[in-house]
Chains A and B, each alone.
Chain A
């Protein structure tokens, strides 16, 4: 009996023990995303256009020369960085960013480059979104590799162009699928549809800032709603996710965007956050350094200043707020090769924070 009580108390103490944190880097200049080169080294972007390598042990930071020229304004700049699945062999990385197109309008670009001797070589624009906008907002800009080696890229609705998310002749509010050399996969859903852009994988999205592909190959995305209506979706090719024809949010101005929340032929979100939490990034945690988090989605949030642990079970979602004691607008989350979670805070003076596993 006493052993049972002891075990119960031991279990409960672990469940309710709070996490400990270690600030690994400070004074980052609007850092937006990062990726692990190894357990001790990250490659990270800063919106003004800087690409840097940081050693997390000795805290040294090295500038990478020759980054792409970006249009740094409002929400735009150098955004996502990811590694090629064969990075160890080919040293290739992929960068998304906003830059001016030939008509001097801002739009979303995706480039590949080789990272050699702290410099980018052989930079090649592999995708330029047909989504020109006056102001660099709602770009999306998250990138992920699918299991088949193709690339997915979030291309946001540009705010002023939200209605275009429902039309297939542009890249506003779309998830894009291309090969890593920029060519178009022959099995893309709209490749043979007249009037549709062949890179489109799914449509009817708003400002997507989370994109995850699980080890089983499922594609999950989340996107900012307007005032309310932040969504998390399971992405399937060719499907229409409804924005702005159906939404659970209203406009920032208070106006009704649509009185409808569902329609046949438009997908319902797996969950929606109303009021908004402003989801900024997401990982699917599949390691075991934090057993309580294994096989859950971890969604960073700017407004609620926490990480939402999300789990789905029989079409029901279960959520828990984590790391709220940091009280920081969280911009990005990554998991190191060793399974350790790192959080990036938002804005100038940002920090990289290591979440220490609970002691057992």
Chain B
């Protein structure tokens, strides 16, 4: 159980660090755009920061998770076999992990600085500070006893994070979002464009909100609601293929996955609630 808790603490610390780091690139880009008289507004800034959190954040989450696993393992060993330990050791480990990860991404993989916000010294320092905060956050998570609710909440938030890309695309760049589903928006009638945008946007926004509400309230109904919608999409996808004769579309696999995760979270909450009631 302790190992499981530590793993999810690493995942949560990675996601937290991604939340801190992606705006560094977004804001450095926005500042430069403003400096060349581009019409940057609060709305466009909000759009950029959210998109970066999702699109840029996904690969960074993987990189940071690997870096944190290594760094926090070393910090754990130091803490066990020396007198050094505590929250600042893990915070330092987080800073070192992010620093090394960003250097190695350049030196071993790309030979160029893919992360726009990491090109200046100020940007680099901010990334290290974010890693420091990530390490500190990790220590706070794993040093306090947690129940299963931590894991359920983490997965609920992470599920919402996965859906955030769809939500943003349908709100901000509907033509691109529509193209990903095979629609050429300009070629649809006005009514069809309207129907497509409102239905798809509400579909993804609703499931996004259900997962956030599920994570906050731990009420399984929210998770079930998201699951029902995606399972429904998968069932009617297959109905379209095998009953109505549309071409095969393997997107139903993704729909089953997106339906299964919240359903499992809902079942976990239900099971735990029943177990607790029995003990009472």
Contact = CB atoms under 8 A, between A and B. Distances in A.
Interface of A: 74, 135, 137, 159-160, 163, 166, 245, 250-260, 263
Interface residues of B, number: 26
Nearest to B179: A274
B33 A135 contact: no
Contacts of B32: 163
Interface in B41-85: 44, 47-48, 51-52, 55-59
Nearest to B48: A256
A163 B120 CA distance: 13
Contact of A255 (B25, B36, B119): B25
Nearest to A73: B111
Contacts of A255: 22, 25-26, 29, 51-52, 55-56, 115-116
Interface of B: 22, 25-26, 29, 32-33, 36, 38-39, 44, 47-48, 51-52, 55-59, 111-116, 119
A279 to B, nearest CB: 20
14 contacts: A74-B111, A166-B36, A245-B36, A250-B55, A252-B114, A253-B25, A253-B59, A254-B55, A254-B56, A254-B59, A255-B55, A256-B26, A257-B116, A258-B33
Given A255-B29, A256-B51, A260-B33, A135 B38 contact: no
Nearest to A227: B55
B56 A135 contact: no
A135 to B, nearest CB: 4
A137 B47 CA distance: 30
Contacts of A259: 44, 47-48
Contacts of B22: 255
A85 B34 CA distance: 45
A159 B114 CA distance: 9
B59 A263 contact: no
Given A255-B51, A259-B47, 5 more contacts: A74-B111, A251-B114, A254-B58, A256-B29, A256-B55
Contact of A160 (B26, B38, B57, B119): B119
Nearest to A259: B44
A204 B115 CA distance: 21
Contacts of B114: 251-253
A191 B55 CA distance: 42
B29 A135 contact: no
Nearest to B54: A254
A166 B51 CA distance: 24
A102 to B, nearest CB: 22
A135 B112 CA distance: 7
B48 A263 contact: no
A163 B34 CA distance: 12
Contact of A256 (B38, B52, B57): B52
A135 B111 contact: yes
Nearest to A166: B36
Nearest to B111: A135
A137 B59 contact: no
A258 B29 contact: yes
B115 A245 contact: no
A258 B47 CA distance: 11
A166 B34 CA distance: 13
Contacts of B25: 253, 255
